[in-house]
Amino acid sequence: MKPVREIRSRTVVLPVENVDTDQIIPARFLVTTSREGFGKALFADWRWEKDGRPKGGFALNRPEAQGARVLVAGRNFGCGSSREHAVWAIQAGGFEAVVSTAFADIFRGNALKNGLVPVQVDEATHARLVEAPGEEVAIDVEARQIALGRVRSPFPLEPFARYCLLNGLDELAFLLSREREIAAFEAAPAPWRSP
Amino acid sequence: MEGRRTLLEKIWDAHLVSAESDDTPAVLYVDLHLVHEVTSPQAFADLRARGLRVRRPERTVATMDHAIPTRSGPDGRRAPAEGAAAEQVSALERNCRDFGVTLYPVGDDRQGIVHVIGPELGLTHPGSTIVCGDSHTSTHGAFGALAFGIGTSEVGHVLAAQCLLQREPKTFAAEFDGILPRGVTAKDLILALIARIGTGGATGHAVEYRGPAIRSLSMEERMTVCNMSIEAGARAGLVAPDDTTYTYLAGRPFAPAGEAWEAAVARWRTLPSDDGARFDRVERIDASSLAPMITWGTSPGMGIPVRGVVPEPDGDAGLEKALRYMGLEPGKPLLGRRIDVVFIGSCTNSRLSDLREAARVFRGRKVAPGVRALVVPGSEQVKREAEVEGLDRVFRAAGAEWREPGCSMCLAMNDDRLEPGQYAVSTSNRNFEGRQGPGGRTFLASPLTAAAAAVTGAIADPREVLR
C-alpha cells in the first residue's frame, strides 16, 4: 500500500444517498480472480449505455470530472455487499477519497485496507461540497481535515487507521507480528470452540 | 449495569486475543471461516505472494455458490460453469487443495449456499465467531454466534492469522413483543424493522433480536431474520441460543457429540444477555401488529405492508429516483400489479421450511400464464429433503422451475437474470437497481407472498390466496 498523506483534487459530486455496492460495481463484474481491470466496471449501469457509449448526464462522464480524485456522495455510501471489488473499482476510476456524511461499515473497512480515504463530514460541510462540484479540496490525513477554500472541517479517523494510511502499512503485517499472543490464545482451553 | 453483559459482549470478550485500546483495534479470534469462489481468489493469491500458509485449515470450510449455474444441462445434471466463472471454480479447487482447506464443491452432497450449509452441517455454534467474505454471514447469528461479513483483504487476514482487527460493535436490542399473526412470517418481521429504522439505521451496531416473537421462531426463521441484519446496516445480528437452538443442532455432523455436547450446551446456556444488561439502543415492535411486507423501491428499507400504498416522495430525491426506476406511481397500491418473474431462493429464504411455505401456495394451483417462477433450494441437503417430501413435484406440477442449489437470481452473477424492465417478486434480500439483472425491478417479499404472486400473476396478499 502506498502512503497517503494529502490529497488535493477537484471533486466529482454524486448527490445520491444509499449508493450501494451493486451500483458501484454490479455483481457480474465480480466473476474474476484478479484485483485489476475494474475501471470500466465502476458505476457501470449508471455510466454506460448498453452499447458502451457514456451516458451524458452521469456525473463521472462530465468533462470536468476527468482527472478528479475525490468523489462526494450522499449518506450511507457503500451499503450492501462486502465486495472489496467496490473499493478496487473506485480506485481504478482514479479516486483516492470518498466524502459522505455516513459510510456503511464493511465498505469503510475495505476502503481503509486499500488506502482509499473515507472522509465522513457533517451535514453543513457536505452541503457546501455538494454545492461546489469541481472545486478543489485538500484532504489532510495527518490533521484529519478536509479544506474547501479557506473552510476546514474535521473528519473522524481512528489512530490506527491513520497510522496505516500515513505509513502505507497493511494490517496483515501487524496481525502476523502478534503470533505469540495468537498461539497463546489457541492453547488456552475453550470447549465451545469446537470443532 | 456494571458486570451485566449482553450476548455480544460475552462472545466478544471470549475471543479477545488482545483488547482494543485508543490506539489499536482488538485482535479478535475467528472460530470458523467460510469461503466461497468469488471473494477468495485474490486473498489466496496474497498468501502465495507472501509465502504464507493457512494458519488453521481445520477452521476453514469452502463451497461454491455465487457464480455457478443452477440450471440443469440436457443430461439432467447441473450445467457446468463456463468462462470466468469456471476459472473461479477451478481457482477455489486449486487453492483448497494446495492450502489443505475442506471444500464441498459442486457435485458434493454437502454443497450449497454457504450460509445454508454452515448451520445444516452443524458448523455454526452458539458463542462462536464466524466470518465469510459475504455480507450475509450475519445469518449465523441466529445461533447466538457473532457472525459478520468481511472484505477480501480480511479473508486473507483470517486465512493467514485466524484473527481480525476489529472495534467492538455497539449494542442494539430489537424487541419484538407479541406473536406474529397467521400468514405473517420472519421475512415480514425483518422487512418491517428495516422499513422502520432504514438501511443505515443500525450502522456500527450488532442487533440482538429479542422478545416473545423471536423466541417462538424456528431456527430457519431466525436465520431469515439475522440474514437481513446487514440490510439495516448492522455489523451483525444475533438471537440468544435456547432449546430451539440445541434441538436443531443436536446430532448434526459437526456439532459436538456425547460428553462434549453436554459440556457445550452447559456453556451455551450462559450466553444469553444478563437481565439488566445495557444496550446502546433499543427499538420495540409489536409483532402482532405486523402484516405481510413487500418492498416497492430500490432499497430494502422501502418496504410497505402488501396491502399498503406506494409512498409520496414529498420532494425526497432518493424516493423520486426509486419511483422512476421502478416505474411506479406514488399513492397507488401494489396489490394487483402484474409481475413477470418469481424467484424463491437465496440465503434468506431457500431452506426447507421456506420451500414448504411456498408449496402450500403452489399445491393445486398453476403459475399464472406469462410468469416465470424459479424455486432454487439452498443446498443439496435441502434439495434432497424437499424431494423426499415431494415438494419438487408440487413446484413442477404448478409450472415452476426446480433448480440446483446456489445463489441463482439473487445477484445476477450467474446465468439467472432478469431482463431489463421485468418485475420480479423475490424472496432474496436486495432490491437495488439492477441487482437481479441490469434494468430488472425487484419486489422483496416472503416465500408465501412470492408464491402468491406466482399463481396470481400479480402482487397478492398470501392470506387471501390461501383462504
pLDDT along chain B (467 residues), means of 10: 88 96 96 98 97 97 97 90 96 98 97 98 98 98 98 98 98 98 98 97 98 98 98 98 98 96 95 97 98 98 98 96 98 98 98 98 98 98 98 98 98 96 98 98 98 98 96
**A18 to B199: CB separation less than 8 angstroms, yes or no:** yes
Domain end among B291, B312, B334: B291
Q: Which of residues 144-203 of B touch A (CB under 8 A)?
A: 149-154, 156-157, 160-165, 167, 199-200, 203
Contacts of B267 in chain A (CB under 8 A): 191-192
Q: Report the pLDDT value the prediction gives residue A195, as an integer from 0 to 100.
A: 41
* Other beta carbons within 10 Å of A114: 17
SS3 for B276?
Answer: coil
Q: Do B242 and B360 fall into the same domain?
A: no
Whether B211 and B287 have beta carbons less than 8 Å apart is answered as: yes
CA distances from B317 to A74, B145, B222, B323 (A): 11, 38, 34, 10
| B433 touching chain A per CB within 8 A | yes
Question: What burial letters (b/e) apply to A169-184, b meaning 16+ CB within 10 Å?
Answer: ebbbebbbebeeebee
Q: What is the pLDDT confidence band of residue A189, given thresholds at 50, 70 and 90?
A: confident
Q: Do B275 and B347 fall into the same domain?
A: no
Q: Do B238 and B311 fall into the same domain?
A: no
pLDDT one-digit tens code per residue, A70-86: 999 999 999 999 999 99
- In B58-147, which residue ranges form alpha helices assigned H by DSSP? 83-99, 114-120
Average pLDDT over residues A5-27: 97
The CATH code of the domain at A6-170 is 3.20.19.10
* Mutant choice from A1, A79, A112 vs B, greatest count of B C-beta within 10 A: A79
The answer to whether residue B17 is domain-embedded is yes
Q: Which 8-state DSSP code applies to residue B441?
A: E
Contacts of A91 in chain B (CB under 8 A): none
User: Could you list the residue range(s) of the whole structural domain that residue B183 is in?
Assistant: 1-291
CA angle B289–B292–B294, rounded 5-degree value: 125
Q: ω before B330 within 30° of 0 (cis)?
A: no
Phi-psi region of A134 (alpha: psi -120 to 50; beta: other; left: phi over 0): left
- In B110-182, which residue ranges form alpha helices assigned H by DSSP? 114-120, 152-161
What mean pLDDT, rounded, does chain A reach? 95
Cα first-last separation, chain B = 49
Domain limits of chain A? 6-170
Q: Do B151 and B96 fall into the same domain?
A: yes
Contacts of B317 in chain A (CB under 8 A): 15-17
The question of ipTM being above 0.90 is answered as yes
DSSP for B412-430, written as a single string: TSSS--PPTT-EEEESSS-
Question: What phi and psi values does residue B195 have, to the nearest 5 degrees?
Answer: -60, -35
Handedness of CA B435, A77, A86, B40 (dihedral sign): negative
Minimal-distance CA residue of chain A relative to B266: A192
pLDDT one-digit tens code per residue, A82-117: 999 999 999 999 999 999 999 999 999 999 999 999
Q: Do B227 and B300 fall into the same domain?
A: no
The C-alpha torsion from B285 through B286 and B289 to B290, rounded to 10°, is 40
Q: Do B286 and B395 fall into the same domain?
A: no
What one-letter code names the amino acid at B24? T
The answer to whether residue B466 is domain-embedded is no
CATH of the domain at B102: 3.30.499.10
Q: Report the pLDDT value the prediction gives residue B435, as an integer from 0 to 100.
A: 98
Whether B361 and B373 have beta carbons less than 8 Å apart is answered as: no
User: Looking up cell 437481479, which residue turns up?
Assistant: B436
SS3 for B232?
Answer: helix
Query: What is the Cα–Cα distance from B153 to B68, expressed in whole angstroms?
Result: 23
Is 60 exceeded by the pLDDT of residue A194? no
Domain end among B291, B317, B346: B291
The answer to whether residue B103 is domain-embedded is yes
Which of B41, B123, B200 shows the shortest C-beta gap to A102? B200
Q: Report the pLDDT value the prediction gives residue A192, as an integer from 0 to 100.
A: 53
Number of domains in chain B: 2
The answer to whether residue B23 is domain-embedded is yes
Domain end among B253, B273, B291: B291
Q: Do B54 and B143 fall into the same domain?
A: yes
Contacts of A74 in chain B (CB under 8 A): 318
Task: Quote the minimal CA–CA distance from A117 to chain B in Å.
Answer: 16
The answer to whether residue B97 is domain-embedded is yes
